[in-house]
Structure 1
Amino acid sequence: MLKQHRELSMSIRRTIENNEEAGIRPSKTYQSFVAAAGGHRELNFIEKDVKNYITREVRNVSEQEDAKEFGKYLADARSRAAFEYFGDVISFDTTYNTNRDNLVCGSFVGVNHHGQSTLLGCSLMKNEEIESFKWLFQC
């Protein structure tokens, strides 16, 4: 299973994209491929390839067009899962500016069942105009 020999076919990619849109976790998506193929050895990719495809392709492509104009919204799989569990009350704060690029940094924070703050996502916006906030909250 050398990296250069692993690949995701178009049908596999399409299934990954559909499962991601449906909210199915990458590990469950991979397990379904394993079950359909009859075992791990029958696949020419590993679970990490599924996760990497989602991170690099599915989320980035859907966010690229909006990001060019307004900024970047970031939330990894763990943060998205935390939102499902702890998204009842969310705080959003844009207190900090980054020095180098002068982008507005914002964070979405929730509270878990232990009363601890949990980072749900963050953003880098080009400015603090109304349109930028509309774009961010739609993401």
Structure 2
Amino acid sequence: MDHINTSLDDIELDEEHDEAVEELNDNHVQPNSILPTVGMVFDSVNQVKSFYRQYAISKGFGIRTRSSRKNSKNELCYFMMVCSRAGKYVPLNHNEKIGRLTLANDCAARMIVSKRDDKWYISAFDDVHSHDLSPTKSRLFRGNKRMNLNVKRTLDLNAEAGVRMNKSYRSLVCATGGYEHMEFVEQDARNYVAKQKRALSKDGDAKALLNHFSSMREIHKDFFFDIDVDDDNRILNVFWADARSRAACEYFGDVISFDTTYLTNKYDMSFAPFVGLNHHG
């Protein structure tokens, strides 16, 4: 039996969907006005989402995923994308202030996509919106914003170098060719940098790292480590050297190779090993 998951908020479909979203983030999508039609065929989720996002930008509305379905093999076989103003606002409690500002407008615009024989088909499409459209602003609507890996890396490096965010963002604007070509605002950049810092201070990984280093020092008194944190006690840099490496440095420390080409996948932080060169090269 198929498994259905529905929500008025953005949801994660599955691993294939996550990879598709990441690919979209890495590519600058140009808007087009090609009308989606029932029966259109695509090779991947990435292609479908990219196509609908292009159309949404050209017409002037935001998009989000509203529901998905998996088959008995736990594979994605169906999903629905809607206008970002779909649905109705429902107060969490009766005491919540009436008249709260909300973008929800019960918009019925949607696109339903189904999978058959390893292909993705548009099985339903509605293009009637219950609100005004804004093509000139749609790049910055919910679901249309994008920040590719090159941008993220630039923000990370600038943050490490102490460059103020307003200057960092303006440099990206200049590189892109102007504000009209930006696919995110300065606040999005601030949120990204703050999120990266918070990720390094979570109890899980940070605490596990500290516990591991502490246990290593108890076992080997020559094990050394040092952790650099900011004013909010968030990890900035980590350095460690085991007993064997410190001993080897006494003999092969005259020439040291310093390599910063490594990156961790999870936090996108530079990993720079110090490698001594012995008489064997």
Q: TM-score, with normalisation over the residues of structure 2? A: 0.24
Please tell me whether Structure 1 or Structure 2 has the larger radius of gyration of its CA atoms.
Answer: 2
Report 1 or 2 for greater relative contact order, CA contacts < 8 Å, sequence distance ≥ 6: 1
